[in-house]
Structure 1
Amino acid sequence: MKAISYSGYGGPDVLEYGELPDPKVGPDQVLVKVRAAAVNPVDWKCREGYLAPILDAVFPVIPGWDVSGVVVQPGASVTEFAVGDEVIGYVREDFLSRGTFAEYVAAPVRTLARKPLRLSFEEAAGLPLAGLTAYQVLRALEIGEGDTVLVNAAAGGVGSIAVQLAKNAGARVIGTASERNHGHVRSLGAEPVAYGEGLADRIRTLAPDGVDAAFDTIGGETLKVSADVLGPGGRLASIADAEVTSLGGRYVFVRPDAADLHTLGVLADEGVITVHVDRTFPLEQAAEAYRLNAEGRTRGKIVVTVDWDRPAVS
């Protein structure tokens, strides 16, 4: 199969496009013919070795955890999916090797759900990691009716879904974003505030008594601002900076969960969640997609698409 891979840690230049063996399908896996795979910041962090302390790499590594595609072969024990089923997945294992930037991926059934009918394959590929992250963080923050919630990077992949989920839960949402994305953030249902010096004061202008919960996606100074604008009893969570625990908050690392992913798919089909695809690239141009993602200025998701001319393996 054609795939993107890297044989050692490094920048985008270590990514290679070429032939690799078709994946073997374990008893609890299904072989998915990939239609699209979304790029996430964690992908380039893995490639550069930042996650080496917690995730071993078995080289060559095929990057990517997000996928949308079609089942072409169920494993021996699989009853959940059949040939022809359209699926989405957050295909993360506890090591790096068998990712989604390829024509095929052998995906554990615990990482999959049926693709929302309302979303295109490109949009659906952008839902799993970002959607699960937003969903699991908002659950940890116990977001509900009447809460005022701060979502950082509200125009990004995770932030944009977090805004929509929080609004659906009955919360008021304040979202940080660059000024060029303020219209987009408003369209999602949040009140936008600009990044930069004076951010805390701008948030306090909108929420003089502080926010009930803050969702940090950036870390560093942004995490400190998020903690500073909490009201009495406010809740704090971060996906970017483990220092959040020293501020009384929770650090959340998203985990695959088929039930949560199914729920997100239902919400997408109900129109509660939309996924904005900023740019698409063919598989052979994945390195350029990574470079763009690493700039951190994406509105929504960057997605890599896979040519379907090659016949399915049998």
Structure 2
Amino acid sequence: MSMEEPSVSTSATTSRAVRFESFGGPEALRVREVAVPEVGPGQIRVRVTAAGLNPMDWFMTSDAETAARFGLSLPCGFGTDYAGVVDQVDDGVSEFAVGDRVFGGAMSRAVADYVVVDEAGTIAVGGEAHRTPDGVEDRTAATFAIAGCTAAAALAVVKVGAGDTVLIGGAGGGVGVFAVQLARLAGARVIGTGSATSADALRALGAEPVAYGDGLVDRVRALTPGGVSAVMDLHGTDTVLAARELGVPDERITTIAGQVDGITSANGANAPRDAVEEIAGLVAAGRLRVPIAASFPIEQIRAAVERQAGRHVHGKVVIDL
């Protein structure tokens, strides 16, 4: 890094950030005043305007053992998905400039006024950024990183393509809204499990709704006389068990939240290269939409997390900053 001052467009010295100072659920979250972070070599700073919530956000810090698995220790920040505007860049950065609209992921530190990320990092190491396409709102862009990559990874595991009939468990959740539409864009027929109240939301995404719970296998068989060829369980393991009963081979079944012997789990970190930018492009082109179920100001972070953690949200929950 040269001795020149980095490009900067803010005069603020303190900012807001959501912090975990003890392990636990929404009750452990605090909004704190913190120093505005400064960029280091190869980094950009983003003035965050929106941060999308995911189940992993609160799961990672539920207890010390789980946090350690993700490389986290107290005190730590909260949230991973963000969108905003670049407001400081290191001299060595060539891909971004002050004023660029960006989105991306920064593990467990995105719900804050400012986030510093590496120009060439990853969500888990250093954070990452992508340009937000024209016509895509920040609230929407703030939902792409975790859910979009996880959905793309799940489709890649089971190799969804034209002619497939895909059963998606938990189709109305944050990952489900992406998975349903990506599967449809790949040419597949989609059957999506959900509650009775989610049926219209699933139809709007392009899925044929089916109620989860006892009798799922029979209901799916009635809908698909020709059988199901691939299954993504985005909630737990119940849909995996149904898949096996339906005769779907293990290599065409995946999970994101549960572990089952013989089944390959999908991890967003293993999504196809450029998957999240492709998703952003689909949204910009009007070919994929992201329903925003609710948005909350940062001061209502606990209420927002409780709403998201209820698992009956049809779409994404976003924090406005």
Shared fold (TM-score, shorter chain, > 0.5): yes
Q: TM-score, normalised by structure 1?
A: 0.89
Distance 1:282 1:209 in 2: 48
Alignment partner, residue 147 of structure 1: 164
Label 1:232 to 1:254 Cα distance change in 2 as closer, same or farther (>3 A): closer
* TM superposition shift of 1:125: 0.9
Confirm or deny that 1:175 pairs with 2:189: no
The match for 1:250 is 264
Mapped partners of 1:124, 1:19: distance in 2: 26
Between 175-184 and 224-233, the greater mean CA deviation after superposition: 224-233
Per-residue deviation, residues 47-95 of structure 1 (Å, max 9, x unmatched): 2136335212232211111001001112333211111111110223xxx
**Most deviating of 12-21 and 252-261:** 252-261
- Within the candidate set 98, 106, 109, 2:116 is matched to 106
The match for 1:220 is 237
Distance 1:107 1:227 in 2: 42
Q: Is the 8 A contact 2:251 2:263 kept in 1?
A: no
Q: Say yes or no: does 1:294 pair with 2:306.
A: no
Equivalent residue for 2:134, pick from 112, 117, 128: 117
For residue 207 of structure 1, the aligned residue among 224, 246, 251 is 224
Q: What does residue range 54-69 of structure 1 map to in structure 2 within 5 Å?
A: 54-69=69-84
Return the alpha-carbon distance in structure 2 between the equivalents of residues 211 and 120 of structure 1.
36
RMSD: 1.8
Q: Output the CA distance in 2 between the equivalents of 1:164 and 1:268.
A: 11
* Corresponding residue number in structure 1 for 2:297: 282
The SS at the match of 1:25 is: coil
Aligned equivalents of 1:53, 1:271: Cα separation in 2:
40
1:189-226 C-alpha deviation (Å, 9 max, x unpaired):
11110112101111111223431111111113333223
Seen in structure 2, the aligned counterparts of structure 1 residues 62 and 187 have a Cα distance that, compared at 3 Å, is same
Determine whether 1:27 maps to 2:41: yes
Which amino acid is 1:207 matched to?
T
**SS of residue matched to 1:242:** coil
Does the 8 A contact of 1:151 with 1:163 survive in 2? Answer: yes
After superposing the two structures, state which structure 1 stretch, 146-155 or 33-42, moved more.
146-155
In structure 1, the partner of 2:20 is 6
Q: Do the aligned partners of 1:43 and 1:63 also contact (CA within 8 Å) in 2? A: yes
The CA deviation string for residues 260-294 of structure 1, in whole angstroms up to 9 with x for no partner, is 22111111112221111001100111111111111
- Alignment match, 1:138: 155
- The answer to whether the 8 Å contact 1:278/1:302 transfers is yes
What are structure 1's unaligned runs of at least 5 residues? 307-314
Letter in 2 for 1:106: V
- In 2, the alpha carbon distance for the partners of 1:256 and 1:115 equals 22
Report the alpha carbon displacement of residue 231 of structure 1 after superposing the two structures with TM.
3.3
User: Per the alignment, in what secondary structure is the counterpart of residue 52 of structure 1?
Assistant: helix
Matched residue, 2:257: 240
Percentage identity across aligned positions? 38
Cα deviation 1:204-252 (Å, max 9, x = unaligned): 1122343111111111333322333243576011111122xx1x32112
Do structure 1's residue 82 and structure 2's residue 97 form an aligned pair? yes
Contact persistence 1:91–1:100 (CA under 8 A): yes
Unaligned runs of 5+ in 2: 1-14, 122-127
Cα distance, 1:129 vs structure 2: 1.1
> Aligned residues, how many?
298
Contact persistence 1:214–1:227 (CA under 8 A): no
1:38 match: 52
The yes-or-no answer on 1:129 pairing with 2:153 is no
Runs of 4+ in structure 1 deviating by more than 4 angstroms, as ranges, are none
Helix, strand or coil: the match of 1:132? helix
Give the Cα separation in 1 of the matches to 2:180 and 2:46: 30
Query: Is the CA contact (8 Å cut-off) linking 1:31 and 1:106 kept in structure 2?
Result: yes
